[in-house]
Amino acid sequence: MALIAMAVYDTEENQRSKYTHKTLECLTEMVDLSKHEIIIIDNNSCQETKDIIADFVNMFNLTLISLSENIGTAKAINRAWKHRKPNQHLIKIDNDVDILSFNWVDEMEEAIERDKSIGILGLKRKDLLENPTRNDQFKSTLRMLPHSNGERWIIVEDVDHVMGTCQMYNYRLIDKIGGLMQPGLYGFDDTLAGVRCKLAGFKNSFLPHIEIDHIDTKETPYWQEKRNIAAKDMAEFNLMKSKLLTGELSIKVEL
């Protein structure tokens, strides 16, 4: 059973309530809620989103962590991950994605259990650059997972780091690195997790055959706001990454 955590920060200005609604529709339609649990962390969103979340919580018995301020993505996800059970894989999902496959969580769990060295397994957006034909930092490798007679064939794509739209974290990796970290409120948590994953001796991979759509049109003020915040935090990110690689900064974040 996996724990799926989704951090939400919608305001009247960033106009993201519709994305949260669509993502929750996708989760409740495509995930077996008798096996997996969903925790929503609300970073003090607008009333429209609070009402949307309340409807889904009541209809599908989801768990809500309601905060009085925006504490950012990493800290919010960590609040949910504190509730993990032993040997439970963890998922971080953004609130602007549509996953076009039933039982995708089960497929991700199966892949990780076939190759327990996969630390972070992501679903791959259509706009990402990773490709086996490239000859730069975005070059990837396709790999067949171990297979026994009667099992379906599974191919994963090994990469440098996994874009954080939807990621499953192997519980074995979480035991070693704990929760997420980032320099500010947004951005770089997935890149830093990828670095920490490799330092802990695990692989970063995509499960590329599961189709997903990134539904943020990039036309809202929020998109540019996130880019501005990320640009401001770039120097701190580079410092954190450097310290992780030299051992000055621990890869472990306590949940």
Q: Is residue 230's pLDDT more than 80? A: no
Which pLDDT band, with edges at 50, 70 and 90, does 231 fall under?
A: confident
Q: Is residue 220's pLDDT more than 70? A: no
Mean pLDDT of all residues in 10-15: 90
At residue 76, the pLDDT reads 98
At residue 136, the pLDDT reads 95
Q: How far is CA 102 from CA 96, 107, 245, in A?
A: 18, 9, 38
Distance between CA 199 and CA 201 in Å, rounded?
Answer: 5
Q: Is residue 221's pLDDT more than 90? A: no
Distance between CA 90 and CA 172 in Å, rounded?
Answer: 10
- All domains of the chain in start order, with CATH: 3-246 (3.90.550.10)
Q: What is the pLDDT of residues 54-106, one digit of tens each?
A: 999 999 999 999 999 999 999 999 999 999 999 999 999 999 999 999 999 99
At residue 229, the pLDDT reads 72
pTM tops 0.85: yes
How would DSSP label each residue in 133-146? T--STTB-EEEEPP
Q: Is residue 203's pLDDT more than 90? A: yes
Cβ atoms of 218 and 130 within 8 Å: the answer is no
Q: Is residue 223's pLDDT more than 70? A: no
Cβ atoms of 111 and 207 within 8 Å: the answer is yes
Farthest-apart Cα atoms in the chain, separation: 54
Q: What is the pLDDT of residues 166-195, one digit of tens each?
A: 999 999 999 999 999 999 998 899 999 999
Mean pLDDT of all residues in 209-223: 82
Q: Is residue 30's pLDDT more than 70? A: yes
Q: In the structure encoding, which two tokens stand for residue 24, read together?
A: 């929750």
SS3 186: coil
Which pLDDT band, with edges at 50, 70 and 90, does 13 fall under?
A: confident
Q: What is the pLDDT of residues 112-144, one digit of tens each?
A: 999 999 999 999 999 999 999 999 999 999 999
Q: What is the pLDDT of residues 33-47, one digit of tens each?
A: 999 999 999 999 999
